[in-house]
């Protein structure tokens, strides 16, 4: 596995993490994107003269998904609704919280009472002790799932909603 190491990925993720920490909770995606670009540029300048694995030739963009369920960090979309994000900000916030806190829900996906199993109930239902009073007992249906999740490190984007569902189900367990 050590031979698969790509320093460009680490630098991009570091830049996204720093930008996420600076703008945590602000919701200003344009400011996040500008900070991400600035931090990425500064990091690339620092490693350009390094004698170790140089990444100065990297374009600074995160590669798109190759069709598997592995997420990629991407610059937040300028307009909510692009990249598969839900227009309802509170629903998006619930999905984002679920992504960051996968143990906060009951995974009912495929259960006969849930919509995915032929019933009418939610596919994911927040536990009463989920850690967010606003979401306690609330449900989410998989057919309303976005293909991107906002995190402190950036936006985790999948190529499709079905891949996002697979990735989330892996996290929820």
**For 113-145, how does the pLDDT look when each residue is reduced to its tens digit (9 = 90+)?**
999 999 999 999 999 998 888 888 999 999 989
* φ, ψ dihedrals at 140, nearest 5°: -130, 140
Give just the sign of the alpha carbon dihedral 121, 124, 127, 128.
negative
pLDDT score recorded for residue 89:
53
The mean pLDDT value for 54-76 works out to 47
Phi, psi angle pair for 110, to nearest 5° = 90, -10
For residue 33, what pLDDT is reported?
A: 75
Checking if the pLDDT of 11 tops 60, the result is yes
CB 65 within 8 A of CB 155: no
Band (pLDDT 50/70/90 cuts) for residue 49 is: low
């Amino acid at each position: 596995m050590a031979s698969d190491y790509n320093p460009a990925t680490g630098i991009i993720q570091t830049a996204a993490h720093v930008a996420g920490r600076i703008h945590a909770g602000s919701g200003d995606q344009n400011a996040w994107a500008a900070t991400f670009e600035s931090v990425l540029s500064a990091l690339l300048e620092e490693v350009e003269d390094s004698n170790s694995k140089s990444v100065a030739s990297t374009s600074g963009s995160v590669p798109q998904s190759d069709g598997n369920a592995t997420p990629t960090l991407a610059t937040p979309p300028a307009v909510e609704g692009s990249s598969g994000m839900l227009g309802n900000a509170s629903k998006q916030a619930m999905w984002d919280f679920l992504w960051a806190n996968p143990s906060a829900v009951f995974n009912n996906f495929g259960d006969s009472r849930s919509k995915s199993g032929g019933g009418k109930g939610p596919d994911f239902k927040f536990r009463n002790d989920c850690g967010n009073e606003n979401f306690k007992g609330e449900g989410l249906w998989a057919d309303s799932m976005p293909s991107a999740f906002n995190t402190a490190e950036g936006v985790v984007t999948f190529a499709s909603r079905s891949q996002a569902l697979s990735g989330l189900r892996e996290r929820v367990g």
